[in-house]
Structure 1
Amino acid sequence: MSAWSAENATNAYLRSIKMGKRVKEPDTSEFISALVAGTNARLTVLVCAGAADSTAALALVVAAHQTGGEVICILRGVHELRSSKEALGECGVDIIKFVIGDAEILLGSEYYREADCVVVDCTIDNFEGIFATAKGVGKKSMVLGYNAFCIMGNSRFDGHLLPIGQGLLVSRVDESDGKNRDFSGSGKKSRWVVKVDKFTGEEHFFRVRNSRGKGV
C-alpha cells in the first residue's frame, strides 16, 4: 500500500455520494471508499454478516475503479451469494469476486496476505476473532469495521471509533513491530473532535493530536 493520495480519496468520496444518490448527510460507505482509495489499496476484502451490503460493496467498487484494484467479498453460504448478486446486479461484476467460507479461517490463509485493506461488518458472528485475524493480514494492512456502534464499550478492539453513520472503526497494523497504529501512521496519541456548523447543521470531524512536553 503506497502513500496517501488525496486525489484518489476525493474522487472516490464524490463518486460514492453520486452512486448512493443521498439526499441527507454522507454515510459510512463514502468514508470507507475515500479511505480505501486514498491509501491506494489494490486488494480489498469485504467480510459480510449476511448478504453483501450493497452500499459498502459499491463503495469499494468505486475505490477499486479509482486505484485499479479488486475486491473479494467473503460470504457464509450459497443463499447469501444469490442475494448479494441480486442486490448488486451488474455493478462491479468485473471487480468483485465472491468467496464462500469461514471468514476467520480464510483471512488466516496465505492467499489473503496480499490484502491491503479488510472491511468487516461489526454485526457478524465472532466479530472479535475475525477482526483480530484481519489485523494480521498484509504487510501494512488497514482494517475497517462498519456498524461499529454495536461494539461500543468493548475495549478489546483497538482502533479509532469515528461517529460516522452507524460507527466506523479504523485500525492499522505495521508489520515492522506488529503494533496497531493510528491512521496517520504516527505513534502520537490523538482524538477526534466533532464540530457542528450552526448555520448549515453539517458535522465536521477534526483529528487533534495530543501534545506531550519533553521530559527534563
Structure 2
Amino acid sequence: MKLVWSPEMAAKAFMDTVKSCKLYQGSSAAELISAMAAGWNAKLIVETWSHGGVIATSIGLAVASTHTGGRHVCIVPDEDSRSEYSAAMAKAGLSPEVMVGEPAAVVMGLEVIDFLVVDSRKNDFVQILRAAKFGHRGAVLVCKNANSRATAEFRWRSLFEGGSRRIVRSVFLPVGRGLDIGHVAAGETGSGSSKVQTSRWIKRVDRESGEEFLIRK
C-alpha cells in the first residue's frame, strides 16, 4: 500500500483552512499544505516550529489531521516556543501535540511519518529530513521558505544518498515564500528493503545545472 491522493479530502481541508486562516494575511501556503496533507490521507503529520514562526501553516496541518483522523505533532526547541505556540493554537481553537527538544533528535523517536514540514531557513532542516522515519506507504516532505539562501545548494536527490530511501519526484512551488516538496518512494523504510539494499546506485552530475541524479541498476 502507498499514499493515495484523495481530491475530495484535499478540497475539504483547503476550504476549512481558508476559514480558519481568514485573519492571517498571506496564508495561501498554509491552505495548500493543508490540502496536501489531507489529500494524501496522512496519519502522522509532523512539523517543526520555533519562536516567532508563522502559525497559519500549523493551523492548516491541524485542520488536515481532523480530516484524516491522524496525529499532528509539532516539535519546538524550548519551553518558550512551546508556550507561544500552544497559546497561538489555542486562540484558533486547536490543541495539537507539542514535543520539546532538538528537532533532529526528537523526530528520530517518531515512527512512520507520512507528512513532514520543516523550515528551510533553519540550519538543521536537512538533518531533520534525514533523521525522519517513513513507512511502506512513502511520505511527503515539505520545506517552507524555500526562497531563502539556505536552500541554494539543497538537492532532493542527494538527500538520502547511499541509503535505502529515495526521492521519486520533487517540485518547487512559488507559493508564499516558496515551497520545496519531495515525495519519498513507497515500499522503502528506514532500514531498507532487500531490493534496495542489493541495488547498485550510480551518481551522475549535470555539468550545466549542477543537479545530481542517482540511477539504480
Q: Which runs of 5+ in 1 are unaligned?
A: 179-216
Q: Which of 138, 145, 148 is matched with 1:147 structurally? A: 145
Separation in 1, partners of 2:8, 2:23: 22
2:41 and 2:146 map into 1 onto residues whose CA distance is 24
Q: Which amino acid aligns with 2:134?
A: V
C-alpha separation in 1, matches of 2:4 and 2:80: 39
Q: Conserved in 1, the CA contact under 8 Å of 2:142 and 2:181?
A: yes
Q: In structure 2, the residue corresponding to 1:172 is in which secondary structure?
A: strand
Q: Which residue of 1 aligns with 2:172?
A: 161
Q: Match of 1:62, SS?
A: helix
Identity percentage of aligned residues: 25
Indicate conservation of the 8 Å contact 1:52/1:80, yes or no: no
Deviation at 1:177, TM superposition (A): 5.5
Residue matched to 1:124: 122
Structure 1 residue 175, shift from structure 2 partner: 5.0
Deviations 1:117-168 (A, max 9, x none): 111122223122112323x433311111111111443243443211111111
SS in 1 for 2:147: helix
How far apart, CA to CA, are the structure 1 residues paired with 2:44 and 2:114? 6
Deviations along 1:160-184, one digit per CA (max 9) or x if unpaired, are 2111111111111125357xxxxxx
Q: Distance in 1 between matches of 2:144 and 2:15?
A: 19
Is the partner of 1:31 in helix, strand or coil?
helix
Pairing 1:39-78 to 2, within 5 Å after superposition: 39-50=40-51, 53-78=54-79
Whole-Å separation in 2 of the counterparts to 1:80 and 1:97: 13
Cα separation, 1, equivalents of 2:32 and 2:122:
20
Kindly indicate whether the alpha-carbon contact (under 8 Å) linking 1:49 and 1:121 is maintained by their aligned counterparts in 2: no
Asked if 1:171 corresponds to 2:182, the answer is: yes
Aligned mates of 1:61, 1:114 — CA distance in 2: 18
Cross-structure match for 1:99: 99
- How far apart, in 2, do the equivalents of 1:25 and 1:120 lie? 18
Match of 2:7 in 1: 6
Which structure 2 residue ranges, 5 or more long, are not aligned? 158-169, 190-217
| 1:162–1:146 distance in 2 versus 1, CA, 3 Å | same
Distance 1:44 1:50 in 2: 20
Per the alignment, do residues 51 and 113 of structure 1 end up closer, same or farther by CA in structure 2, a change over 3 Å counting? Answer: farther
> Structure 1 residue 25: deviation in Å?
7.0
Mean Cα deviation higher: 156-165 or 29-38: 156-165
Distance 1:23 1:128 in 2: 28
Distance 1:25 1:76, change over 3 A: closer
User: Structure 1 CA distance, aligned partners of 2:186 and 2:5?
Assistant: 18
Report if aligned partners of 2:147, 2:177 keep a CA contact under 8 Å in 1: yes
Quote the Cα distance in structure 2 between the aligned partners of 1:50 and 1:161: 26
